[in-house]
Structure 1
Amino acid sequence: EDGDVASLADVIEDPVPLVVIFNKKKHDVSLPLSAKMAALRLEIQRLTGVPPAMQKLIYKGAPKLDDAKTLRELGLSSGSKLMLVGSTLDDVLNLEVPPPEQLKDDKPQATKEPICKQKLHQKVLDKGVPEDAIPGIRNAKDSLPDVPLSGMVNKSGGKVRLTFKLELDQIWIGTKERTEKINMSSIKQVISEAIEGHEEYHIMALQLGTTEASRYWIYWVPAQYVDAIRDTILGK
């Protein structure tokens, strides 16, 4: 019955154009703003093949779009752009199963010493908080700012700036030498840990491949942005 009521409301109101960006392609969708998010997800499945359960939709950095709410309640309007991160069923079925040796390597992780105590990272941390670091706030959760995040360093101690290009589904990692443009959907995992003695900052790693060697390490990430970075990249 609820469905009938919703469809009656949809008939009364004109559809508006929306844009869904998936794998760098734009998909045009038209729905009334009185339609529920669940209806938009079904339309997106028709266009992209990504089932609703696997859709991670990002709109203006909002962490979660509630299926039971209308598009209007979620702040969407004519011409709004949403970013879709997700896998089609074919993608999921074709996932490679890691070899047993790799699984074995991953298990001891839990018993390892804290990341900040490992020699590789201690060398970077011993240089102290960068002068231009953004002030960190422990136990806080803030949305990503509109400007790039700067004042962090990489493994070689070089300055790092992170820019989130949601419309391209990319994160840009800028150093003095160059800017790496990475598709967020290619980042398998985001690892982070508070820095002992400086808990207002974290060490963070972006997992770009399947092994530990393919992690891009970033130091002195302000604690208040850690969750927002992870959710934006992984599309939570």
Structure 2
Amino acid sequence: GAEEPGMEAEAQELPLGCGGEGGSPAAGRSPEGDERRDPSQASVSNGGEAESGKELVELKVIWNKNKYDVKFCLDSTGAELKQKIHSLTGLPPAMQKVMFKGLLPEEKTLREIKVTNGAKIMVVGSTINDVLAVNTPKEAAQQEVKAEENKKEPLCRQKQHRKVLDKGKPDDVMPSVKGERLPTVPLSGMYNKSGGKVRLTFKLEQDQLWIGTKERTEKLPMGSIKNVVSEPIEGHEDYHMMAFQLGPTEASYYWVYWVPTQYVDAIKDTVLGKWQYF
């Protein structure tokens, strides 16, 4: 057994490139070892094959301006090489594009695609962290989308409205009954966004909407109101929360809570001028 030291040295080198096949401690044992241990016999013969059949090839793996010198089994497949590249670069095989005279086939061995010593293997791909770093702007965009979605959340669940609605229904709220004509008397018993009492008076002859609070009455020309939005109050569907848009943006909404449902359409039609053509 004079050549044994050589065997051991080679068996030791194998794990570098061959993923440890044949590199088990048993591989270095002499064949005259314990006959009864079949597993060790098997690994001894593997070790033998590793020496004779498994040539190592030296590769230069180049990824992102980094160069790696790698010894790898000629009879390993492209897929196994990708695993090796993963261990070197942290780049998951699924994210790797490995090039050797074109795209490296995963199922073929390096011998089959005629990889020789000193061959350059180019790797293209980004690690998860690189991808995340690039995608941060996208995350900002997603947050904007979320903000949009939050707007779509029922208005009565949004914080600014909750604080008024949580006060409950005003004692003197007008009864909600079916029918949709404008009330001839001022519509009272509602709250504005600060939770103060508010009443609405429709002065059709002056084409004005009067919004009255304890402090003062705003007299708004109907034509100055850009939009009217409303949504039923959850759990009290016979009442709505309604906003009159007094300026160019949503920031100018004047919110009124607890508008009896039967008046909602008539208010919108009156304010937005549906009837003026008749």
TM-score (norm 1): 0.52
| Distance in 1, Cα, partners of 2:170 & 2:253 | 22
Match of 2:197 in 1: 159
Match of 2:239 in 1: 201
| Distance in 1, Cα, partners of 2:148 & 2:184 | 39
| Distance in 1, Cα, partners of 2:167 & 2:213 | 18
RCO comparison, higher one (Cα < 8 Å, 6+)? 1
- Which ranges in structure 2 are unaligned for 5 or more consecutive residues? 1-143
- Which of 136, 152, 157 is 1:112 aligned to? 152
Task: Indicate whether 1:121 and 2:197 are aligned.
Answer: no
Which letter maps to 1:184?
A: M
Which letter maps to 2:175?
A: P
Q: Kindly tell me: are residues 145 and 118 of structure 1, through their superposed partners in 2, closer, same or farther at Cα, counting changes over 3 Å?
A: same
Which letter maps to 1:127?
A: K
Deviation at 1:222, TM superposition (A): 0.3
Deviation at 1:213, TM superposition (A): 0.9
Task: Indicate whether 1:136 and 2:136 are aligned.
Answer: no
**Superposition map of 1:145-156 within 5 A:** 145-156=183-194
Task: Indicate whether 1:217 and 2:255 are aligned.
Answer: yes
Which letter maps to 1:159?
A: K
Render the CA deviation track for 1:12-65: whole Å, top value 9, x for unaligned. Answer: xxxxxxxxxxxxxxxxxxxxxxxxxxxxxxxxxxxxxxxxxxxxxxxxxxxxxx
Deviation at 1:166, TM superposition (A): 0.8
- Which ranges in structure 1 are unaligned for 5 or more consecutive residues? 1-103
Q: Contact between 1:204 and 1:218, CA under 8 Å: does it hold in 2?
A: yes
Deviation at 1:108, TM superposition (A): 3.4
Highest CA radius of gyration, 1 or 2? 2
| Distance in 2, Cα, partners of 1:111 & 1:145 | 31
**Following TM superposition, where does structure 1 have runs of at least 4 consecutive aligned residues deviating by more than 6 angstroms?**
none
More helix by share: 2
TM-score (norm 2): 0.45
Q: Contact between 1:187 and 1:209, CA under 8 Å: does it hold in 2?
A: yes
Which letter maps to 1:208?
A: L
Which letter maps to 2:269?
A: D
**Superposition map of 1:1-236 within 5 A:** 108=148, 112-137=152-177, 140-236=178-274
Q: Contact between 1:115 and 1:193, CA under 8 Å: does it hold in 2?
A: yes
Which letter maps to 2:148?
A: P
| Distance in 2, Cα, partners of 1:178 & 1:133 | 20
Deviation at 1:136, TM superposition (A): 1.7
SS at match of 1:231: helix
The RMSD of aligned alpha carbons is 2.0
Deviation at 1:185, TM superposition (A): 0.3
| Distance in 1, Cα, partners of 2:191 & 2:251 | 18
